[in-house]
Amino acid sequence: MIPLNANLDPLQRSGIRRFTNMAKEVPGCVMLTLGEPDFPTPEPIKAAAIAALSQNDTHYAPNQGILPLRQAIAEAEGVSEAQVLITVGATGALYTALTGILNPGDEVIVPSPAFSLYETIVTVAGAKTVTIDTSKDDFQLTEAALRAAITERTKAIVLNSPNNPTGVVYTEETLAVVKQAVWGKDIYVICDNVYDKLSYDVCPDLSRDPDLQGQILLCQSFSKPWAMTGWRVGYLVGPEDVMARLLLLHAAEVAAVPTFLQAACVTALSTDVAPMREEYRMRRNFVLSRLKEMGLSCPEPKGAFYVFVDISRFGLSSEEFCTRLIQEAGVALVPGSCFGCEGYLRLSYCCAMDALETGLDRLETFIRSIL
Ligand code: PMP
């Protein structure tokens, strides 16, 4: 092979996909691995896409996204439409934001455990991920930990609240500590808020802090709240001057997001997500009570649809635990190591109740067999 961009050398397949594929080889295995809502996309959103197609809304959209969608987002976010860029999911928003701001050698602070995409993009940009282990601090950020992580090379910090894989929401105190550490410095704050509409309680948020407006890059997605993962639509919000530059990068990557999908996303914004959120809340409560019965602990998930289960007392690595769980018990979870955190497993509860019931029964049988 003729050599490729050397920044690609360290990239690996996502661990989530790897374990999902391993589970597919085992007939009848219950999959609690993917962050993929089991609901269909709500009918009015699908109808809006079909109507847009019928009206021949099938030509190039403006690079930045169609105006009605940017206006609706601007209104919902309390920003100007010039600050909004429609992207290919939050993945596209994160890619444009991070590759657009990073130079080789820059550092990006990522609180761990974390979704692996951040590190992948930072690596592609030739920059360095600096992780902060939050597992000993109730999955929150402390002043001491932040102080130790920030250097003169720090270019950004990524905040993901509610968090994938823990479901934990950052407290006001954590956000105050972050604000104090970055305010007025040449450090961007990347807010990955893709689960904020699926919070079960309050979800404090730094993205609207008036003092930080020159530093915030907000990454959002239609994927999770409206069960639209396959549509691949999200958006990025940032300071006007920054967005004018990032638009050029986005235009070179994807030109524009499909026109008729954007038209339907306007309908999504006015579609209430509460029915799906309440169903997730019920499932979360069920999972928490079953885990408690088994004597397993986890940080309390206040949003998203994941539970991060502590398995440190079993003396197996999280990979080994998950591999055996698939092969011996027929239930698939994701090892904490895929999120940079040993001693835990991620369980996704965005699946049908009967799958959850069977999956948790099998987990219980398995832990009894190894104790
Ligand atoms: N951020 C987080 C925290 C996620 O969990 C995901 C998807 N699993 C994404 C971003 C990307 O989502 P999408 O590209 O589908 O919008």
For residues 159 and 189, the answer to whether their CB atoms sit within 8 Å is yes
Q: What secondary structure, in 3-state letters, does 99-162 show? A: HHHCCCCCEEEEEECCCCHHHHHHHHCCCEEEEEECCCCCCCCCHHHHHHHCCCCEEEEEEECC
The dihedral region occupied by 361, where left means phi > 0, alpha psi between -120 and 50, and beta the remainder, is: alpha
Q: Which residues contact residue 202 at a Cβ distance below 8 angstroms, ignoring those fewer than 6 apart? A: 169
Query: Which ligand 1 atom lies nearest to the CA of residue 222?
Result: 16
Place of tokens 């690609």: 8
- Other CB atoms within 10 Å distance of the CB of residue 56: 9
User: Does the beta carbon of 48 lie inside 6 Å of ligand 1?
Assistant: no
What is the per-residue pLDDT for 233?
Answer: 98
Edge-to-edge, what's the strand order for the sheet holding 107-112? 84-87, 234-237, 216-221, 188-192, 154-160, 107-112, 128-133
Query: Which ligand 1 atom lies nearest to the CA of residue 232?
Result: 15
User: Does the beta carbon of 115 lie inside 6 Å of ligand 1?
Assistant: yes
For residues 271 and 42, the answer to whether their CB atoms sit within 8 Å is yes
What is the per-residue pLDDT for 371?
Answer: 84
The helix/strand/coil state of 71 is helix
Sign of the dihedral defined by the CA atoms of residues 9, 13, 16, 22, in that order: negative
Round to whole Å and give the CA distance between 347 and 365: 16
| DSSP string over 248-266 | HHHHHHHS---HHHHHHHH
The dihedral region occupied by 340, where left means phi > 0, alpha psi between -120 and 50, and beta the remainder, is: left
Pocket test for ligand 1, best of 87, 91, 158 (most atoms within 8 A of CB): 91
What is the per-residue pLDDT for 302?
Answer: 98
CA of 35 to the centre of ligand 1 (A): 8
Edge-to-edge, what's the strand order for the sheet holding 344-348? 306-310, 344-348, 334-335
Query: Which ligand 1 atom lies nearest to the CA of residue 88?
Result: 14
Q: Which residues contact residue 188 at a Cβ distance below 8 angstroms, ignoring those fewer than 6 apart? A: 97, 101, 155, 156, 157, 215, 216, 217
**Tokens coding 301:** 């998930």
**Tokens coding 236:** 């990025």
What is the per-residue pLDDT for 337?
Answer: 96
Residues of the chain with pLDDT under 50: none
* Alpha carbons within 13 A on the beta-carbon side of 221: 25
Query: Which ligand 1 atom lies nearest to the CA of residue 221?
Result: 16
pTM across the whole model: 0.97
Round to whole Å and give the CA distance between 288 and 98: 35
Q: What is the distance of C-alpha 69 from the center of its chain?
A: 22
**Tokens coding 5:** 């961009």
What is the per-residue pLDDT for 218?
Answer: 98
Pocket test for ligand 1, best of 87, 110, 115 (most atoms within 8 A of CB): 115
Any idea what DSSP says for residue 230?
G
